[in-house]
């Protein structure tokens, strides 16, 4: 089916739970450069909105993390934010609101699978954020963004998460007699900002150590170190 600017904007508004006063902003947010190029002077592409949306997204997520984790150091906050605003994460968020179905693409981009392309959907997701911001203000944009943010990002497996424990288990299973065990060897810090230290053992021999703000995160870091020491991947 060829998509035109007569997409069902009302349906998309239901998906995002926001009603636009200025529909032209929404159309612009959904318009890829390939579509705008075909329409020449009658249609703007979403690149400028993407630029603005990137900044709005960053400040909302930064504020959320700053307030959620009052004792987390800057470096850890930066890592958490990066996992929540990366292309993989935005692509997943875009799929949750069926964004690909409503994109306005040029014929060439349409025929080469652009509608499903992660980068195009992620960029459009940021453009929609900017459109909401311009149409309804920061609070409206904030409500929209926070729908996609887990309540406790530290305990969530981030988008693009690498499951080092599973990878290690798959390596060890090549020798059925081998046994892997994770042992909590220490914890420190106040209750709201604990650090856990875990050792991963192979047949009672320590093969990796990890530290994290949850036992699960520490186990993942221990498995990551073990894989690195065994020659699988980078620590």
In the set 38, 54, 76, 156, the catalytic residue is: 54
Q: What is the DSSP string of the chain?
A: ----S---HHHHHHHHT---S-HHHHHHHHB-HHHHHHHGGG---SHHHHHHHHHHHHHHHHHHHHHH-TT--HHHHHHHHHHHHSHHHHHHHHHHTTGGGG-B--HHHHHTTGGG-HHHHHHHHHHHHHHHHHHH-HHHHHHHHHTTS-S-TTTSPPTT---HHHHHHHHHTTSTT--EEEEEEEEES-GGG-EEEEEEEETTEEEEEEEESSHHHHHHHHHHHHHHHTTSS--
The burial of 234, by beta-carbon neighbours within 10 Å (0-12 exposed, 13-18 middle, 19 or more buried), is given as: exposed
| 101 is annotated as an active-site residue | no
Q: How far apart are CA 222 and CA 230, in angstroms?
A: 12
| 155 is annotated as an active-site residue | no
In the set 123, 126, 219, 225, the catalytic residue is: 126
Catalytic site residues? 54, 126
């Amino acid at each position: 089916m060829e998509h035109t600017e007569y997409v069902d904007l009302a349906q998309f508004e239901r998906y995002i739970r926001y009603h636009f006063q200025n529909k032209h902003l929404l159309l612009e947010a959904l318009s890829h450069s390939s579509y705008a190029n075909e329409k020449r002077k009658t249609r703007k592409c979403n690149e400028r909105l993407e630029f603005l949306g990137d900044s709005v997204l960053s400040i909302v997520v930064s504020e959320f993390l700053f307030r959620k984790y009052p004792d987390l150091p800057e470096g850890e906050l930066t890592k958490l934010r990066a996992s929540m605003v990366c292309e993989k994460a935005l692509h997943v968020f875009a799929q949750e609101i069926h964004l690909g179905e409503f994109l306005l693409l040029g014929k060439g981009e349409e025929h080469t699978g652009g509608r499903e392309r992660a980068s195009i959907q992620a960029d459009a997701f940021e453009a929609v954020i900017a459109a909401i911001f311009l149409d309804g203000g920061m609070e409206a944009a904030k409500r929209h963004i926070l729908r996609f943010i887990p309540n406790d990002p530290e305990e969530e497996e981030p988008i693009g998460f690498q499951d080092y424990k599973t990878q290690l288990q798959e390596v060890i299973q090549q020798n059925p007699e081998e046994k892997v065990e994770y042992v909590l060897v220490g914890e420190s810090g106040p209750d709201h900002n604990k650090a856990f230290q875990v050792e991963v053992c192979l047949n009672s021999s320590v093969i990796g150590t990890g530290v994290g703000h949850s036992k699960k995160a520490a186990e993942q870091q221990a498995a990551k170190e073990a894989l690195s020491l065994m020659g699988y991947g980078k620590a």
